[in-house]
């Protein structure tokens, strides 16, 4: 089964489900998908497995493939994040992850200043220096990868494995903001300085400084893009309450 073909089917169906082209509650039949997309049953089966893992669909014998409501979607799935960013849910997606980052990353920086292994402290200093270099050059492609790495190191250096797992969705939102043109043409000098200050504070075990400067980064991020989500409705989902599928 060609991986590219499988990915195309996942992309085709997933983006249309998240974008509302295929409404929640719809019933899809594997045979119909085979004919319409001109692919084999094995390709459809594997694509549906991926979409089911993301919470977009569920398969029921003698019924078909049911499209699920947003409260069932995995909010940390990188594909779901990307599809939401490309849909009319862009504002809600940006808000949710920005608010999450604002809560978690300052604490992660504080913990990293106390607990980070020496190797992580050194790598963070190196990455922050490279961010300043490429940011001032206007190389947004290289800067993006370094920015993603910087925040992943801080989360991992906290010594909290649950924080560390947030590196993937946070990387997805950083990449999505860049691809959608929601980043400045060049990183602001103030933001570069705060990243360097976070790295310096973690390197010298200054927990208060690490938290303060990471909080400044998060507040600037929120101020830059909060206008995008002003009218976006919130999703009030109680995960402890059984949901109908």
Please report, for the domain that includes residue 10, its CATH number.
1.10.10.10
For 12-28, the pLDDT digits (tens) are 999 999 999 999 999 99
| Domain span including residue 213 | 78-229
Q: Which pairs with CB-CB distance under 8 Å and at least 24 residues apart come from 118-123?
A: 120/153, 120/156, 120/157, 121/157, 121/202, 121/203, 122/203, 123/153
The burial of 63, by beta-carbon neighbours within 10 Å (0-12 exposed, 13-18 middle, 19 or more buried), is given as exposed
- How many domains in the chain? 2
In sequence order, the 6+-apart residues with CB closer than 8 A to the CB of 175 are: 144, 148
- pLDDT (mean) for 179-204: 92
C-alpha distance from residue 104 to each of 46, 95, 184 (Å): 35, 14, 24
**How long a stretch of residues is the chain?**
245
User: What pLDDT is attached to residue 1?
Assistant: 41
Q: What is the pLDDT of residue 90?
A: 93
* 90 plus 188 within the same structural domain: yes
Q: Is residue 242 part of a domain?
A: no
Indicate whether 104 and 51 sit together in one domain: no
Provide the pLDDT for residue 243. 65
On whether both 26 and 146 belong to a single domain, the answer is no
Where does a domain end: 40, 72, 104? 72
Could you tell me if residue 118 is inside a domain? Answer: yes
Task: Please state, in angstroms and rounded to a whole number, the distance separating the CA atoms of residues 111 and 131.
Answer: 22
pLDDT value at 3 more than 70: no
Looking at the fold, whether 84 and 18 belong to one and the same domain comes out as: no
Residue 88 has pLDDT above 80, yes or no: yes
In a domain, residue 125? The reply is yes
| Residue 158: predicted pLDDT | 98
Q: Does residue 43 lie within any of the structural domains?
A: yes
- How much is the CA Rg of the chain, to the nearest whole Å? 20
Q: What is the pLDDT of residue 245?
A: 58
Q: 122 with 51, same domain?
A: no
Residue 174's nearest CA partner among 101, 65, 228 is 101
Compute the C-alpha angle 196/201/203, nearest 5°: 95
pLDDT at residue 229 tops 50: yes
pLDDT tens, residue by residue, 135-191: 999 999 999 999 999 999 999 999 999 999 999 999 999 998 888 887 888 899 999
| Confidence at 66, pLDDT banded by 50, 70, 90 | very high
Asked if residue 126 and residue 24 are part of one domain, the reply reads no
34 and 120: one domain? no
Are residues 210 and 105 both part of a single domain? Answer: yes
């Amino acid at each position: 089964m060609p991986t590219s073909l499988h990915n195309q089917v996942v992309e085709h169906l997933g983006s249309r489900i998240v974008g509302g082209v295929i409404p929640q509650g719809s019933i899809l039949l594997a045979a119909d998908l085979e004919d319409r997309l001109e692919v084999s049953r094995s390709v459809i089966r594997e694509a549906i497995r991926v979409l089911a893992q993301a919470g977009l669909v569920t398969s029921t014998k003698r019924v078909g493939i049911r499209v699920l409501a947003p409260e069932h979607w995995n909010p940390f799935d990188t594909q779901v994040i990307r599809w939401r960013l490309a849909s009319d849910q862009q504002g809600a997606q940006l808000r949710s992850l920005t608010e999450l980052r604002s809560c978690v990353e300052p604490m992660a920086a504080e913990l990293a200043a106390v607990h980070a292994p020496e190797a992580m402290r050194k790598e963070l200093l190196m990455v922050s220096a490279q961010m300043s270099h490429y940011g001032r050059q206007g190389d947004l492609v290289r800067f993006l990868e370094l920015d993603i790495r910087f925040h992943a190191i801080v989360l991992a250096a906290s010594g909290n494995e649950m924080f560390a797992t947030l590196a993937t969705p946070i990387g997805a939102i950083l990449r999505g903001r860049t691809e959608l043109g929601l980043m400045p043409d060049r990183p602001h000098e103030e933001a570069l300085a705060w990243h360097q200050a976070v790295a310096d504070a973690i390197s010298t075990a200054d927990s208060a400084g690490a938290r303060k400067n990471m909080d400044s980064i998060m507040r600037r991020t929120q101020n830059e893009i909060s206008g995008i989500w002003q009218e976006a409705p919130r999703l009030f989902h109680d995960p402890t309450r059984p949901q109908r599928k």
